Every structure is written in structure tokens, then in C-alpha cells.
């Protein structure tokens, strides 16, 4: 583990000129669409943010992020009511994470940015409330789980909609990935507060979970109005790889396109600064990240082909839903790049 200080890497990167890769070319041939309800969604997302997140000091910044466009590109074929909910979830995840990763956002008892003791109860309260909203509490007779935290409480609309559509197994899968998100958020903060640069190995231990991409993939079936793929399909090794490659592709694209912004706010939660610490060449670090992206795009495509070859094992409806699930993951990746 390197003991180098993050500030020295950020200082060295600041002001350097680099050539970014053509990300559109890397995802060439992947489907891209925009949901026809974009304008309506933008209006409803702004209204929801204004109501559910009125307490946030970053409310106007959140509105400017255009989560309506985010949702319309990630879920271009979702029916409107489903589209609203998945987009609300995406916005909620951004807001929830901002409370921990931005030092200027204060809770009632202080900022969570540099306070591990305060942030853990925030995570635990989130876990309990999400479980309650999804009807997954281990003790259903204890009565309603309440929270006074406005950010956490904003999940209620999302959880209610999921509960009405998803069966127990689907809700449990969603919750498992939510718990992983909370745990890896904790790990990321712990490494940041350590004050030294994490290794690439440490980075990739927490990044897939802290990105929350798996949480959104868990609503892929919800967005497509699908019933439920069989457990045998969802637990298939290639299906799990498909989730992982989708996650890595989205996270790596974000690392590349957000590099300047992340450096400006003093963040090293990205592949590029960590690779730079090894090579001491910013362009080499960017090029290595792009090569990593290409490898994972190819791996996704090969995995998707293996899954599609299994269609004969399923009935017509299951085969259709499998194709939709794969295309949905591609929309996540291409939509993320379009929104960025």
C-alpha cells in the first residue's frame, strides 16, 4: 500500500494537458435512444426535487444536473410511471451520496464528510428505512420505521412503487445491492479519512459497490415492465458478469469525463489519479484507463452473446425478457455517456 498523500497527486495533475479518448467510438454500435416523455419527466423530476429535497443546500445544482435527461437516456423504453420512479431513484442516490462526499453539506449535527462516527448512523438509518419501505423488515410486527432525515425519507415514494411491482425475491435482490452500496460507501470514506492514496486493488474493492450502479440494474426488470427472470437466469455466472461489466463500463466512463471536475474538488476516487501515481504521466494514465474500458466493453459483448445462446433453454417470454435485460444494460452505458 502506497503512503503517498492524495494532495501531492492532485497538485501534480492540476493544469496538465491531456487528450481524452473518443468514448463514443468505444461504444459504437450500442443502442442509444431518448424516452419520448423527456419534457414531462424533466418537469416532474424538478417538482419532486423541490418537494423531497427542499432542505438541500444544493437544490439548484441538483436541478441543473438534468436528471430528467439522465432518466430518459438510461431508460428510453420505460413506460412513464416506471420511468418516473427509476429516475427518482437515480436522483435520490446522487443526493444521498452527496451528503457524505461533500464537506459543505451539513446535517443537523455537523458535516458527514470528515466524521465517520456521524456517517455510520446515517447509513444504518437508511438501511432500516429502505428495508421497511420494501416490506423486508425482519420483525414486521414492530410497527412503522420512521425517520426525521428528509433525504432518507425521500425514498418512500420509490420504495412504495417497487413494493407494488416486485416480488419478494426481486425486492431482496435490490436490498442486497443497496446494502452493498452502503457498506462500500463506508469503506470509501474510511480509506479517504486514512489520508493516504489507496491502491488500485483497494479502489476496485469498494468502487463497484459505492458507484450504486448495481442498485439501478436491480430495477432493470422494473423499467421494462417485465415479470421476473427465473432465479436460474439471475444467478447464472454470465448474468452476474454482465452486471459487473455494466458497472465497470459506467464507472470508468465517469472517471474519464469527470476527471477535471474531480481534481478541482480535491477527489482521488478515480482510476486516473491512481494510475498516475504509478506512471507519473497523466496521458499514460488516461490511455490505460481507456484501454481498460475497451477490454470491458468487449467482455460485456462476449458475455451477452453467451447468454443469448442460452435462449433455447427458455420459453418465448423468458427469452424476450433476457434480450430486454441485456439491451437495458447497454442503454445504461450509452445513456450515461450521452447524459455526461
Q: What is the Cα Rg of the chain in Å?
A: 20
With beta carbons less than 8 A apart as the criterion, state whether 30 and 333 touch: yes
3-state DSSP call for residue 107?
strand
CB-neighbour burial class of residue 105 (10 A; exposed 0-12, middle 13-18, buried 19+): middle
Residue 3 confidence (pLDDT):
66
> Model-level pTM?
0.93
Per-residue pLDDT of the chain in tens (340 residues, 90 and over written 9): 446 788 899 899 988 999 999 999 999 999 999 999 999 999 999 999 999 888 777 889 889 999 999 999 999 999 999 999 999 999 999 999 887 655 444 444 446 767 778 889 999 999 999 999 999 986 655 557 788 888 999 999 999 999 999 999 999 999 999 999 999 999 998 988 888 899 999 999 999 999 999 999 999 999 998 778 999 999 999 999 999 999 999 999 999 999 998 888 888 889 999 999 999 999 999 999 999 999 999 999 999 999 999 877 778 888 899 999 999 999 999 999 999 8
Picking from 325, 252, 336, the residue whose alpha carbon sits closest to that of residue 73 is 336
Residue 31 confidence (pLDDT):
98
Residue 26 confidence (pLDDT):
98
With beta carbons less than 8 A apart as the criterion, state whether 324 and 226 touch: yes
Residue 66 confidence (pLDDT):
97
Residue 100 confidence (pLDDT):
62
In degrees, rounded to 5, the angle at the alpha carbon of residue 180 between the alpha carbons of residues 178 and 183 is 115
Picking from 298, 175, 303, the residue whose alpha carbon sits closest to that of residue 239 is 303
Amino acid at each position: 500500500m502506497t503512503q503517498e498523500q492524495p494532495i501531492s497527486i492532485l497538485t501534480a495533475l492540476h493544469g496538465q494537458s491531456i487528450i481524452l479518448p473518443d468514448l463514443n467510438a468505444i461504444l459504437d454500435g450500442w443502442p442509444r435512444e431518448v424516452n419520448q416523455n423527456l419534457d414531462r419527466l424533466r418537469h416532474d423530476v424538478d417538482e419532486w426535487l423541490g418537494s423531497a429535497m427542499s432542505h438541500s443546500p444544493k437544490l439548484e445544482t441538483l436541478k441543473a444536473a438534468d436528471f430528467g435527461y439522465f432518466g430518459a437516456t438510461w431508460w428510453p423504453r420505460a413506460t412513464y410511471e416506471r420511468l418516473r420512479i427509476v429516475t427518482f431513484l437515480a436522483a435520490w442516490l446522487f443526493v444521498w451520496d452527496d451528503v457524505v462526499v461533500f464537506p459543505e453539506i451539513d446535517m443537523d449535527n455537523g458535516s458527514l464528510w470528515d466524521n465517520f462516527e456521524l456517517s455510520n448512523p446515517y447509513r444504518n438509518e437508511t438501511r432500516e428505512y429502505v428495508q421497511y419501505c420494501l416490506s423486508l423488515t425482519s420483525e414486521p410486527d414492530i410497527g412503522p420505521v420512521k425517520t426525521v432525515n428528509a433525504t432518507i425519507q425521500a425514498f418512500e415514494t420509490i420504495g412504495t412503487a417497487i413494493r407494488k411491482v416486485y416480488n419478494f425475491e426481486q425486492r431482496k435482490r435490490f436490498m442486497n445491492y443497496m446494502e452493498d452500496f452502503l457498506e462500500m460507501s463506508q469503506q470509501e470514506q474510511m480509506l479517504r479519512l486514512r489520508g493516504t492514496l489507496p491502491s488500485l486493488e483497494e479502489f476496485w474493492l469498494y468502487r463497484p459497490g459505492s458507484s450504486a450502479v448495481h442498485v439501478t440494474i436491480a430495477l432493470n426488470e422494473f423499467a421494462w415492465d417485465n415479470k421476473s427472470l427465473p432465479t436460474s437466469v439471475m444467478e447464472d455466472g454470465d448474468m452476474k458478469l454482465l452486471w459487473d461489466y455494466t458497472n465497470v463500463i459506467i464507472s470508468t466512463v465517469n472517471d474519464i469525463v469527470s476527471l477535471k471536475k474531480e481534481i478541482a474538488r480535491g477527489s482521488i476516487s478515480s482510476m486516473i489519479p491512481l494510475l498516475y501515481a504509478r506512471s507519473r504521466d497523466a496521458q499514460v494514465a488516461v490511455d490505460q484507463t481507456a484501454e481498460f474500458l475497451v477490454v470491458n466493453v468487449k467482455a460485456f459483448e462476449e458475455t451477452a452473446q453467451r447468454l443469448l445462446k442460452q435462449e433455447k433453454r427458455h420459453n418465448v417470454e423468458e427469452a424476450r425478457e433476457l434480450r430486454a435485460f441485456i439491451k437495458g444494460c447497454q442503454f445504461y452505458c450509452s445513456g450515461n455517456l450521452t447524459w455526461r
